[in-house]
Structure 1
Amino acid sequence: MNNLIWMMLLTLFFLAMLVMDLGVFHRRPHEISIKEAAVWSGVWVALSLAFGIGLYFWKGAEIGLQFFTGYVLEKSLSLDNLFLLAVIFGSLRIPPKFQHKTLFYGVLGAITFRAAFIAAGTALLARFGWILSVFGIFLLVAGIKLLRHERSAPDPQTNLVVRWAQRVIPMLQDYGGSFFICRNGRRFATPLFLALVMVEATDIVLALDSIPAIFSVTREPLIVYSSTTFAVLGLRSLYFLLAAVTARLRYLHTGLAAILIFVGAKMLIGHFVEIPAALSLGVVCGILLIAVFASLRAAKRENGLLPGLKKMGILALPRGVNFPQGNNAGGS
């Protein structure tokens, strides 16, 4: 079977897993416990390992290592997303039991946007090989900005997408678990919908880093698509497991900046020096482990990490958005 058929089969598998997730395992809204998040994180990691090992024996060691390198790269860059998600949910005061629903639809959008970016990137690289150098420069700049802390957490008061949505769509404060509610014959958006808009907008911005980074590992569409999607699908469970912790990993941004700079440099010198996938995997894992270890050592000296995940919904985060008050509105 060619790559297109495999990508279609993978997409059907991903959709089936998502349907089972929301339709069977999470039919009723509830706060995700650390144990449940750990189990689901383990499931997605196991599925990713199984797929990567299958590629290793089916298409060869190099292809298998490319998948694992792309997967770890995407997963590590996604760690930056976890803290931003916590900021979004905290600033909009989204109850923990409804956060999974928002992340579910956010992941659907993330997969769609990434598939479009991958298709566009593959087409551009096939036609213009020099685009790889442009990607490399872009990642170098992104890494330097992250190193200099020039990225800021999203704030509903200043986010352009949110401000546009507020002007176009009537808003009503209601935390009943629906994206839209009907009241007096009119349809209103809720803070849950606003959170979804911010999640999608944030993911698009972060994808501008992660997708070019994947192309530094391989141009094979199947590997790029599968490694990226497996990593993104496991992000929801990882959020409930690690979001409160990442806020205290003070050197995480430094590590991610180093990874972006390494990947950007790798793309720029790729025409002259070929860096094996195994070496790239080792460098990415090494940088990430050093950043986490250094952060944990620093946190230990400062009397430990943040309290448990239950406090994510009540963190002292950026100010939220003021909505008209609404009571007893019906969800839709």
Structure 2
Amino acid sequence: MPTTTPLVWEATIALIIGLLAFDYFFHVRKAHAPTLREAAIWSALYVGIALLFGVAVWTWGGADMGAEYFSGYITEKALSIDNVFVFLVIMTSFKVPRESQQKVLLFGITFALIARTVFILLGAAMIERFSWVFYLFGLVLLVTAGNLLAPDDHDEDKPNIVVRLVRNLFHASPRYDGDKLFTTWQGKRALTPMLLVMLAIGGTDILFAFDSIPAIFGLTQNVFIVFTATAFSLLGLRQLYFLVGGLLERLVYLSLGLAAVLGFIGIKLVLHALHENSLPFINDGQPVPVIEISTWTSLVVIVAVLALTVVASLTSPKGKAKVAVSALRARVADYLSLGDDAAATLRQKVFDEMGEAQRRVDALEPRFKAMVKRPDVLQYDLRRAHEAHAVAIGDAIAHHDLGLPPPPEGDDGD
């Protein structure tokens, strides 16, 4: 395997920093919500750059090194999609204005790159000094795979532990002030929710690194491949969020697919640790003659599992139901965010879209309706949207004629 020269490292790091700088200076300087077309074009561009880099690695380093890169990139990209889902939960929890979400995501990507680079260097140093660390990495991945099989515990109403700590220690404003991190509230300088959501995503990024880095070290111990596959999987994550954010819940079997991939890599790591064994209480400190899983086998298994996961999710009635509910929540939020000066044609268009989304949810089977989280809040927001529309069009519909349930106790609708 060829040695990665300092010049190659410098050129690669310059490329990654250049792509990040391009995002900072040309995409998020002016707050805006990207269109689906814009997100699709830039997502394709970043994936294309990552694939071309992989082709360069294959050409320069040989087929095995290329296979290691693509195995690592595909695995890290799949994990990043799960990260996007958690980012979506955090954004919803903090009610981040859509036009400001790009800046929050770019901060999260930058922080993740820095945090994972530190973890990569630490992991490489540990591997070089202690061969038994592969047992530890394998155990981490097997435990993570088991946790992914547990019921979904993403809670939009439960603040991140970092955020709870900051709110307890510092004066924080409940309202956004554009994309500012600090503002004046109650006569004093205060943190804005923008800073808090960045802290929440930063804290979450660190947790993601605990399964992400062992996973890729299970596929290759080449630090250059580990770093580049991780970096290129994170670049473009901002565009991916806006491209598939509304469809992420459709991937209902994503956690199962990731559990299978991480479990497979965990077993691969344990087998490798046994093959390199030096622990005195295992086989008297001698290597154990076990089968080792090749890089090519890993690549085929990872691609096959993830492809099966996507196909099963997209054809699942449960996935279609979750998308319908997500679409209704989004349309309700769109209507409630309209200002008093919104044009009548725009208001009617958004209201009609909300009505269509509501009809799709109403047509769901009872077993799928029973899976809706916080249905009382959804119904209350629907009620508010209908009332707002009635007032906007001058329709004197009585409150009790709306046919919607009363608001849930303790919810003021904000």
1:230 alignment counterpart: 232
Cα deviations by residue, 1:288-324 (Å, 9 ceiling, x for unpaired): 11111111111388568346699299499889xxxxx
- Write the distance in 1 (CA, Å) between the matches of 2:322 and 2:213: 34
Letter in 1 for 2:125: A
Q: 1:304 to 1:89 in 2, by over 3 A?
A: closer
Counterparts of 1:154 and 1:229 in 2: how far apart (Å)? Answer: 28
1:246 paired with 2:248, answer yes
Matches within 5 A, 1:270-285: 270=272, 271=275, 272-285=290-303
- SS where residue 187 of structure 1 aligns? strand
Q: Could you report, residue by residue, the CA deviation over 1:20-59 in whole angstroms, capped at 9, with x for unpaired residues?
A: 2121233211112111111111111111111110011111
Q: Report SS of the residue matched to 1:153.
A: coil
Q: Deviations over 1:173-210 (max 9, x none)?
A: 33211222246884321111111111111111111101
Greater Rg over alpha carbons, structure: 2
What one-letter code is carried by the residue in structure 2 that aligns with 1:284?
A: I
Q: Is 1:266 aligned with 2:276?
A: no
- Larger mean CA deviation between 172-181 and 219-228 belongs to 172-181
Deviation at 1:156, TM superposition (A): 5.9
How far does residue 257 in structure 1 lie from its aligned partner after superposition?
0.8
Aligned residue identity for 2:293 = I
Residue type of the alignment partner of 2:200 = M
1:6, 1:159 → 2: CA distance? 39
CA distance in 2: counterparts of 1:312 and 1:120, whole angstroms: 45
Whether contact under 8 Å (1:140, 1:260) holds in the other structure is: yes
| Aligned partner (choices 308, 313, 316) of residue 295 of structure 1 | 313
How much has 1:167 moved relative to structure 2? 1.9
- Partner residue in 2 for 1:73: 75
1:206 to 205, 208, 224: 208
Q: Which residue in the other structure is 1:328 paired with?
A: none
The partner residue of 1:96 within 95, 98, 106 is 98
CA contact (8 A) 1:86 1:312 kept: no
**Aligned counterpart in structure 2 of residue 197 of structure 1, from 196, 199, 202:** 199
Letter in 2 for 1:198: A
Distance in 1 (CA, whole Å) between partners of 2:61 and 2:155 is 42
Partner secondary structure for residue 132 of structure 1: helix
Moved more, 151-160 or 56-65: 151-160
2-side partners of 1:128 and 1:210: how far apart? 20
Residue type of the alignment partner of 2:107: Y
Kindly state the Cα deviation for residue 160 of structure 1 after the two structures are TM-superposed.
1.6
User: Helix, strand or coil: the match of 2:315?
Assistant: helix
Matches for 1:128-143 after TM superposition, within 5 Å: 128-143=130-145
Q: Residue 157 and residue 308 in structure 1: after superposition, are their counterparts in 2 closer, same or farther (change >3 A)?
A: closer
TM-score by length of 1: 0.88
Larger RCO (CA within 8 A; separation ≥ 6): 1
Measure, in 1, the Cα distance between the counterparts of 2:333 and 2:90: 12
Q: Over residues 258-297 of structure 1, what are the superposed CA-to-partner deviations in whole Å (9 max), with x where a residue is unaligned?
A: 1111110111112232322222111111111111111111
CA–CA distance in 1 between the matches of 2:31 and 2:128? 45
Task: Name the structure 2 match of 1:169.
Answer: 170
Question: After TM superposition, where is structure 1 displaced by more than 6 Å over at least 4 residues in a row?
Answer: 315-319
Alpha carbons 2:249, 2:322 under 8 Å: kept = no
Taking only aligned residues, the RMSD between alpha carbons, in angstroms, comes to 2.5
Q: What SS does the corresponding residue of 1:188 show, helix, strand or coil?
A: strand
Q: Distance in 2 between matches of 1:146 and 1:195?
A: 24
Are residue 55 (structure 1) and residue 54 (structure 2) matched?
Answer: no
- The answer for the alignment partner of 2:21 in structure 1 is 19
**Equivalence for 1:324:** none
Change over 3 Å in CA distance of 1:302–1:80 after alignment to 2: closer
**Correspondence 1:311 to 2:330:** yes
Q: In structure 1, what is the equivalent of residue 283 of structure 2?
A: none
Equivalents in 2 of 1:170, 1:96: separation in Å?
25
Whole-Å Cα distance in 2 between the matches of residues 187 and 304 of structure 1?
41
Number of corresponding residues: 318
Deviations 1:64-99 (A, max 9, x none): 110111000000111211111111111111011100
- Code of the residue aligned with 1:311 in structure 2: it is A
Unaligned runs of 5+ in 2: 276-289, 335-371, 378-414
Whole-angstrom distance in 2 between the partners of 1:120 and 1:16: 25
Give the TM-score, by structure 2 length: 0.71
Q: Distance in 1 between matches of 2:216 and 2:145?
A: 15
